Amino acid sequence: MSLSPLPDHHRPEHLNEFQNSRDLLILYATETGTAQETADRIARECRRVHFKCRVISMDSYPQLELISEHLIIFVVATTGSGAEPRAMTSLWSMLLRSDLPTDLFEDLDFCVLGLGDTAYEKFCWPAKKLSRRMQSLGGREICERGESDEQHQLGIDGALDPWIDKLLDTLLVLHPLPPDLTVLPSNTKHPPRISISYDAETLPNGPLSSNADPNFHEAIVKCNRRVTAEGWFQDVRHLEFKFEDAIEYNPGDVAVIHPVADSSEVDSFLITMGWANTADTPFRIEHSTSDQTLPDYIPRIATLRTLFTRYLDFNAVPRRSFFRLLRQFTTDELECEKLDDFVSVEGADELYDYCQRVRRTIREVMTEFRSAQIPIEHVFDVFPVLRPRQFSIASSVKCHPHEIHLCVAIVRYRTKLKVPRKGVCTSFLAGLKPGDRLRIGTQKGFITLPNYPDTPVICVGPGTGVAPMRAIIEERIRAGSKENTLYFGCRSALKDEHYAAEWEQYTKSDNLIYRVAHSRDGPEGVKRTYVQDLLQQHGEEVWKLLGERQGWLIISGSSNKMPAAVRAAVSSSAERFGGMSVEEAAEYVAAMERSGRLIEECWS
């Protein structure tokens, strides 16, 4: 049963009060879009217990209105080394003001869901800090904080699903339903977030818009060069883009690129879905639901081919919630039974084996569930948005005006199904040729540099983690600094030592101390050498730079064991050459991070 859509002045007073008590705000902060999709999912579930939701990004919400809210769910992703997403920074700075009274939110009920990855040391750190701060300002946390882990076999849904169940139970206790209303079943078909129109008079005569985001600038491909040896297992590219606009960015900032799906894969997917004959028919898109978001870069006039080429991701490994939605549009009895198994608690292992374990894509799933007939109005509900990708900029704009350089590993691998896989965005980048045009945005990163060029900086960046280090070193050398040390790690000096000639030239001019660990070039059976081993070997010098001279340490690369091992090597140097105890050395490294002298920009 759903609420009557009576105008406000015709509603009984008790019904108005009931609905007012069910106004729910969901604020999300994300870098990749996962928190936005999760916020939409929570809103969809809260609709089952008759709550009216607003889903808003934290950077779009008027901060002064926070005090007038009565019920908020915060959905917070984690970035960098436990940092808050950029969308949260402004709100978080406001909440940290020392002049805020301790009873500021005494009339506010809230709960927090964190999204993170236990591969990182500071798992769900922003969510934990937000939860504590809201309580210290008088807010009442009505549901235990949720912490979703990307490492779970079902991804973030592994913790999200039971957390939503707890949330709905809590909401029903605090805001009971009247006798004439019931909880809507989990398979309730909700209204689509968009409506479409084929009115020919509203359609333009010219080409369809692809991306009109004003924060992006048109770029021309200047160079796309492979920097790993031909035949080497990994294809790493150095890309250079030229801009007419006077772009500005700092070392550590990132380039944002909207990927474009392979046209042959789009054709195949449209045929699988039965949309081939209407794939190029334009229609107008209107956002029709306030409790389900739509990225602002989605065009208002499009075709199905345009949507699945630029805006909707059919190559993603689907989340559990995808199968729950797919079930609503499936008619075959056996397929329905299989989908019911997948979304059940008992079917979690079976779903993992079918989907996550073998990295099965949405496109492949749809070839097996052929009876599913998804109305075009529901494409943004069923299919995830094809999000822009972020890449660390590998250049200084002061050294390369009007240019952005990238160092990108092209994603290609085989799954346990022996099926070749490739990254949508990196494959798009690999196929670019000089003269091609695309739009690229820039976004502030989490790396900062010391104000003075004579402050020592140690950069640790194995693999493509060297990208931001190239920008840092270029910028500092241009500023006259000779206090630069780079620890780089790769497998082979002849196969994948990125930018080796540049580092050699800087070394000859006394602008850089360059140390490289070739982990696979040693004799077989001999212990492999990594960047953390080199830091241990040069422990006395490391301590002089970081301890005695108060230098900075910047780490970039994979978030596996490397960042923790680098920290351990620095801590060891503090013990051996700084005369510290184990506890004092560990605290010294932690203090470096608190003061901003240790910066970690890593990814999983």
- Centre a 10 Å sphere on the Cβ of residue 178 and count the other Cβ atoms it contains: 9
Is the predicted pLDDT of residue 187 greater than 90, yes or no?
no
Query: Given pLDDT bands bounded at 50, 70 and 90, which one contains residue 418?
Result: confident
**Residue 372, pLDDT score:** 96
**Residue 20, pLDDT score:** 60
Is the predicted pLDDT of residue 21 greater than 90, yes or no?
no
The residue type at 573:
S
Interval 1-29 mean pLDDT:
57
Is the predicted pLDDT of residue 469 greater than 50, yes or no?
yes
Query: Given pLDDT bands bounded at 50, 70 and 90, which one contains residue 16?
Result: very low
- Give residues with Cβ within 8 angstroms of 351, minimum separation 6: 154, 320, 323, 341, 342, 343
Listed residue (381, 433, 380, 209) closest to 300, CA to CA:
209
CA 326 to chain centre: 24
Distance separating alpha carbons of residues 462 and 492, to the nearest angstrom: 12
More confident residue, 225 or 421: 225
Is the predicted pLDDT of residue 156 greater than 80, yes or no?
yes
Identify the residue whose tokens are 């949720």: 146
Is the predicted pLDDT of residue 6 greater than 60, yes or no?
no
DSSP of 87-145, one letter per residue? HHHHHHHHHT-TTS-TTTTTT-EEEEEEEE-TTSSSTTHHHHHHHHHHHHTT-EE-SPP
Q: Could you read off the pLDDT of 96-131 as tens digits, one per residue?
A: 999 999 999 999 999 999 999 887 778 999 999 999
Rg (CA), the chain: 26
Distance separating alpha carbons of residues 76 and 87, to the nearest angstrom: 10
Least confident of 137-141, 214-218, 273-277: 214-218
Least confident of 49-58, 418-427, 486-495, 569-578: 418-427
**Residue 524, pLDDT score:** 77
Phi, psi of 561 (to 5 degrees): -85, -15
Interval 163-190 mean pLDDT:
93
Is the predicted pLDDT of residue 199 greater than 90, yes or no?
no
Is-contact 27 74, C-beta < 8 A?
Answer: yes
Orientation angle between helical segments 333-343 and 320-327, nearest 10 degrees: 150
Q: Could you read off the pLDDT of 500-524 as tens digits, one per residue?
A: 999 999 999 999 999 999 998 877 7
Identify the residue whose tokens are 């915060």: 74
Identify the residue whose tokens are 């235990």: 144
- Centre a 10 Å sphere on the Cβ of residue 553 and count the other Cβ atoms it contains: 25
DSSP of 234-293, one letter per residue? S-EEEEEEEESS-----TT-EEEE-----HHHHHHHHHHTT-GGGTT--EEEEE--TTS-
Is the Cα dihedral 206, 208, 211, 217 positive or negative?
A: negative
Is the predicted pLDDT of residue 474 greater than 50, yes or no?
yes
Listed residue (284, 304, 282, 278) closest to 196, CA to CA:
284
Distance separating alpha carbons of residues 192 and 604, to the nearest angstrom: 34
Q: Which two tokens stand for residue 65?
A: 């209105």
**Residue 330, pLDDT score:** 96
Distance from first CA to last CA of the chain, Å, rounded?
Answer: 44
Is the predicted pLDDT of residue 540 greater than 90, yes or no?
yes
Distance separating alpha carbons of residues 82 and 127, to the nearest angstrom: 10
Interval 560-583 mean pLDDT:
94
Least confident of 83-87, 222-226, 235-239, 363-367: 83-87
Q: Which two tokens stand for residue 599?
A: 């910066």
Is the predicted pLDDT of residue 13 greater than 50, yes or no?
no
Is the predicted pLDDT of residue 214 greater than 50, yes or no?
yes
Distance separating alpha carbons of residues 279 and 49, to the nearest angstrom: 37
Average pLDDT, the chain: 91
